[in-house]
Amino acid sequence: MRYLLLLGWLLLAGGGWVPTAAAQALPDTLHLSYAEYDPAARFFSYCFDECRQPATAGRAASLWAAGRFRRLSRQDLLQAGYQPGRLWLRVAALNTIPQRTHFLWNIYSFVDSATLYVQPDGRGPLHRVAAASSWAVAAVRPFPARPLCLPFWLGAGQRAVYYLRVESRCANWLLFTDVTTTEGFLRYEQNYLGFTYWNWLLGLYLGSVLVNLILYLFLRDRILLWYGGYVLSITWFLLMEENLDAVLLPQAVYTVGWQLGQFSLLLLAQACGLRIMALFVRLRQSWPRLHLLSRWLSNGAIVCAVACWAVARWAAPLAPAGQAGLLLGRTGLLWGLLLAGGGILAAVGWWGRPAQRRLAALYGATYLLFGWGTAELLLNYSGAVYIEFIKPNSLAWCLVAELILLSALLTGRFHRALRQAADQRLRRLREHEAASRRLIAAQDEEREALARELHDALAPGLTALHLAWQGRLVRQALAQAPPLLAEAHAQTEALLRQLRRDVRALSQVLLPSPTTGEQPPLPAAVALLTETLNMADEGLHIEYVCDAAAAEVPLAVQQAAYRIVAELLHNALRHAHAQRVRVEVHRRPTALHLLVADDGRGFDPAAPPPRSGGLGLRGVRARASYLRGQVQVVSQLGQGTRIEVELPV
C-alpha cells in the first residue's frame, strides 16, 4: 500500500509538468466563464499606497515586485476600515470561453475614481484599459449601470493580469468587487430588485414618507414631519449603500447626497429619531432637562451634517489627516447619539411615571431596531468585524419592522390625539355655552331692572304729568290764553300721550310680567305682549297665533323665543313705522318656528347696519346662534319685512 501511494504521488507531481492550459494556470488565476466562479477561491490581492506617490501603472508593478500585495481575506470584499492613501487591486484572469468575450470589473462601493490597467499574459508593460468615477450617475458612465463598471475584452484562452487603481477621499474601505461577463452581469442586474426585495421595500419607504406628509398637512402634528424626515434619511442612505441612487436620482441630488456622505444621512436620521422620541415620550412636560438635552443632541447632529456638506462643497480637498478626523468625528458622534438616546429612554423607563414608562418601553423597541441596524453597519465600516445576517442589509429590514411598529404606535397616538381634541372641543363648547348663558342672564337681569325702572318710576311720573297737564287749572288758564298757546298745549298733550304709550310698550317688551317678576309660559307671554301693544290709542295693530304646545318646549327656548319676538316687535314699533304686524309661533317636531312680518317701510338686508343702530337684529341672531338656530330675513324698501327664526328643541 505504501508503494501504491508513493506511485500515485509521483504521477500527480509529474502531471504538473504537462504543458496544458490547465497546468500552466497559476494558483491565483481567476477562470472567467459564463458560469459563476468557485466561491471558495481567493483571486484578488490588494495593496495600499501613499497618495503622494505617482499614480502610474509602473508604480503598481513595482509594488507587486516588492511583495507589497496581500490576498483578500474574503472572496470579493475588501474590509480594511480607514486606510489613508491609494488602493491597488490585482487579479490574474484567464478566459475559458471559446471566443473573445467582453468582461466587466465591477465596484459596488462609492469611489472618487477607478482606473483599470492590463498586462497581457502577465508580462511586459501595463496599458490603461478604462477609467470611471462614482461621482457621475449611471447614465453618463462608460458602462451605464448601478455599480461602477470598468469594461475590457479578453480573447479565447487568453490570460492577462489586471491592476485597478482606486482613489477615495473618504478612504473608509468597505469595498465589494468582482469580475463577470457582461451577459452575466446584465442578467444579475435585471433580477436584482426582485431577489433583494427592493422593488417593494422602496415603495414601502416612500409611501410611508408621503402618508406622513399628508397627515401632517391635516393634523399639524410635528411628530409626523420628523417621522417622514427620519424614513427619508434612512431610505436615502440605503439607496447609496446599494448604489441605487446612481440609477434613480438626478445628477444634482445624487451629488448633494455624496457631498453630505452616508454617515451624515445617518446623523440626520438620528436627529429626527431624537425629536420623535422627545415628542412621543412627552419629555417637555415631565422631563424638561432631558428634553433640552435631546434638543441639543438633535441640533448638533443636524449642524454637523450640514457642516460636512459645506466642507465637501466649498472647501478644498482635505489632507488625509483631515479626512480621518472628519470621518472619525462623524462615526464617534453617531455612536454617542445612539448611546445618549438609549440613556434617555432608560432614564424615563426607570424613573418616569407609569404612563411614561409604558411609552418609553414602546418606543424603546423601535429604537433598538434602529440601533441594531446602525451598529452593524458602523462595525462593518470600521474594519473590526463583518456582519451580514440578511440581504440587502439589516438596517433595511429593521426599518421595515420600525415602520410597522411606529405606524401602530403613531396610530394609537393619533386616536389619543383625536380623543383629546374632541374632549377639548367639548370643553370649549361647554365653556362657551356657560359664558353665553351668563351673558344672556346678565342681559335679562339688566332688561328686568330697566323694565322695573320704567314701570315703577318713569311711567307713573309721565302719567302724573299727563294728568296734571289736563287738569282744571291748566284748562282755566288756556281759556284765557291766546289761541296759539292752546295749540301748543294740544301738541304737548299728544306728545305726552305718545311717551306714555311708548314707555308702557317698552316696559312690556323688556319684561313679560314686570309686576310679578315671573315669566308665564310662552303662549301667555306672547299674548300679554301683543295685547298690551294693541291697547295703545293709535299705532300698531298686531295679530298673533301661538300654538299651545309651545309651552312644552324647554324653558331656555321659551325665554329666547319671547326675547326674539319682543325684540322684533320693538323694531317694528320704533323703526318700521308699520300699521299691521303678524306674529306666529308654531311648535314643530324638532324646532320652534317664529314669524314676525310687518307692512312697514322695509330695509336692505345686505346693507351694513348703521353705526348708531342695528343692535336689535344682531341680538336676535346672537340668541338664535346660541341655541344653534337659524334666522332668515326677507325685506325690501317700501315692501315691509318678514323675519323667520328656527330654534331647535
Helix H, strand E, coil C: the string for 435-461 is HHHHHHHHHHHHHHHHHHHHHHHHHHH
Q: Residue 25: pLDDT band by 50, 70, 90 thresholds?
A: very low
The pLDDT value recorded for residue 17 is 29
The pLDDT value recorded for residue 59 is 92
Residue 435 to residue 414: CA distance in whole angstroms: 31
Closest CA to 598 of 640, 561, 545, 649: 640
Q: Which of 33-42, 98-107, 294-303, 439-448 has the weakest average pLDDT?
A: 33-42
Is residue 138 pLDDT above 90, yes or no?
A: yes
The pLDDT value recorded for residue 416 is 76
Q: Residue 453: pLDDT band by 50, 70, 90 thresholds?
A: low
Cβ-based neighbours of 114, under 8 Å, separated by 6 or more = 107, 131, 132, 133, 134, 148, 150, 164, 165, 166, 167
Considering only residues 137 and 449, tell me which one the structure prediction assigns the higher pLDDT: 137
Q: What are the sequence ranges of the domains in the chain?
A: 21-190, 198-392, 522-649
The pLDDT value recorded for residue 504 is 64
Considering only residues 440 and 227, tell me which one the structure prediction assigns the higher pLDDT: 227
For the chain, the helix, strand and coil percentages under 3-state DSSP, each to the nearest 5: 60, 15, 25
Q: Give Cα 572 distance to the centre of its chain.
A: 55
Give me the half-sphere count of Cα atoms (radius 13 Å) on the Cβ side of residue 274: 28
Q: Residue 4: pLDDT band by 50, 70, 90 thresholds?
A: very low
Mean pLDDT of the 153-177 span: 90
Q: Residue 644: pLDDT band by 50, 70, 90 thresholds?
A: very high
Give exposure, 539-575, as e/b (b: 16+ Cβ within 10 Å): bbebebebbeebeebeeebbbbbbbbbbbbbbbbbeb
Question: pLDDT tens-digit profile of 509-554?
Answer: 565 443 344 567 888 888 877 877 776 545 668 888 888 888 888 8
Question: pLDDT tens-digit profile of 545-594?
Answer: 888 888 888 888 888 888 888 888 877 877 777 888 999 999 988 899 99
Mean pLDDT of the 161-169 span: 92
Q: Residue 119: pLDDT band by 50, 70, 90 thresholds?
A: very high
The pLDDT value recorded for residue 149 is 96
Considering only residues 383 and 115, tell me which one the structure prediction assigns the higher pLDDT: 115
Is residue 315 pLDDT above 70, yes or no?
A: no
Considering only residues 461 and 641, tell me which one the structure prediction assigns the higher pLDDT: 641
The pLDDT value recorded for residue 610 is 59
Q: Residue 6: pLDDT band by 50, 70, 90 thresholds?
A: very low
Fold exhibited by the domain 522-649: Heat Shock Protein 90 (3.30.565)
Q: Contact 527/520 with Cβ under 8 angstroms?
A: no
List the grid coordinates of 435: 359664558
Within 96-184, strands assigned E span 101-107, 113-120, 127-132, 148-154, 159-167, 172-181
Task: Please name the amino acid found at residue 626.
Answer: Y
Task: Please name the amino acid found at residue 459.
Answer: A
Place of cell 471566443: 99
Considering only residues 607 and 463, tell me which one the structure prediction assigns the higher pLDDT: 607
Q: Which of 143-147, 271-275, 403-407, 466-470 has the weakest average pLDDT?
A: 466-470
Question: pLDDT tens-digit profile of 176-192?
Answer: 998 999 999 999 898 88
Is residue 1 pLDDT above 80, yes or no?
A: no
Q: Residue 592 pairs with which residues in a beta bridge?
A: 587, 647
pLDDT above 90: percentage of residues in the chain: 33
Q: Check if 21-190 and 522-649 are the same fold.
A: no
Dihedral (Cα; 78, 82, 83, 88), 10-degree rounding: 30
pLDDT above 70: percentage of residues in the chain: 78
The pLDDT value recorded for residue 3 is 35
Question: pLDDT tens-digit profile of 331-372?
Answer: 889 999 999 999 999 999 899 888 888 888 888 988 998 999
Mean pLDDT across the chain: 81
The pTM assigned to this predicted structure is: 0.67
**Ordered strands of the 172-181 beta sheet:** 77-82, 172-181, 101-107, 148-154
CATH code assigned to 21-190: 2.60.40.2380
Question: pLDDT tens-digit profile of 268-290?
Answer: 999 999 999 999 888 988 889 99
Q: Is 549 helix (H, G, I), strand (E, B) or coil?
A: helix
